[in-house]
Amino acid sequence: MPSILEEIWPPFALHVEVGPLTLRLMRDEDLPELAEAAEAGIHADSLRPFPRDWASADATTVGRDLARRCWRYRAGLGDDEWALPLVVRHEGNIVGIQGAEARHYPALRTPDTFSWLTRSVHGRGIGTLMRRALCVLFFDELGAHQITSGAYADNPASAAVSRKVGYRPNGGKLELRDGLAAEHRRFVLDPADLVRPEQIVAISGAAGLRTVLGVGDPDE
């Protein structure tokens, strides 16, 4: 039975589980632990994986930034332009975010993925597994035609995850990063190329999310 909150906002019912990982829509009660995971560090000091280096700010600023984005993304889910951040838990502990954003999704069916992961769990395959799980969700439950992603040229770890998941290179361009030009490389994934996890990806509650996003059941 869905909770009252899930009846009011059906995307809260989404639950994705694969191996030691679970993914669900970000909720207010996740924010303190999520902020701690970000404040612990999500990349080396010399690396700049985002257009704006939000994760290197002080603890108060990081927490408030996460809260603002959580509420903004939730309010905009289902609009012509939206973002879907899923909180990733490893063996019950929050370790990061795996999400996607899209424009005109009912027509284009092409989400663009984004993520971050607390540094203490880097190098353990978690980033690859959570991306694969998200791609299974979009291809199998949300009717995606393609999935795209991107990474700056000096972030080979992100590009390596894309390759392991099955993406192929898809050009690139210069973009502003902290006010300076940086090469941003693009990747694209087709359903047939997805390298699925060895573990079963168990998904529940996708119907409510489909309704909000304006897409039908892929089996109908």
Per-residue pLDDT of 64-123, as tens digits, reads 988 999 999 999 999 999 999 999 999 999 999 999 999 999 999 999 999 999 999 999
In a domain, 206, yes or no: yes
Is residue 40 very low, low, confident or very high in pLDDT (cuts 50, 70, 90)? confident
What is the model's pLDDT at position 134?
A: 99
In a domain, 79, yes or no: yes
Q: Encode pLDDT of 144-169 as tens digits.
A: 999 999 998 888 889 999 999 999 99
In a domain, 220, yes or no: no
Contacts of 34 (CB under 8 A, 6+ apart): 26, 66, 87, 94, 97
The answer on pLDDT for 132 being more than 60 is yes
In a domain, 124, yes or no: yes
Q: Which domain holds residue 8?
A: 4-213
Q: Encode pLDDT of 158-214 as tens digits.
A: 999 999 999 999 999 898 888 888 898 999 999 999 999 999 999 999 999 999 999
In a domain, 80, yes or no: yes
Provide the mean pLDDT of the chain.
Answer: 91
Contacts of 186 (CB under 8 A, 6+ apart): 148, 149, 150, 169, 170, 171, 172, 173
What is the model's pLDDT at position 149?
A: 96
In a domain, 149, yes or no: yes
User: Which one-letter amino acid corresponds to residue 4?
Assistant: I
In a domain, 219, yes or no: no
Give the C-alpha separation, 87 to 38, whole Å: 12
CATH of the domain at 73: 3.40.630.30
Give the C-alpha separation, 107 to 100, whole Å: 16
What is the model's pLDDT at position 11?
A: 96
For residue 49, CA distances in Å to 45, 88, 102 come to 11, 19, 20
In a domain, 218, yes or no: no
> What pTM was computed for the model?
0.93
Q: How many domains does the chain have?
A: 1
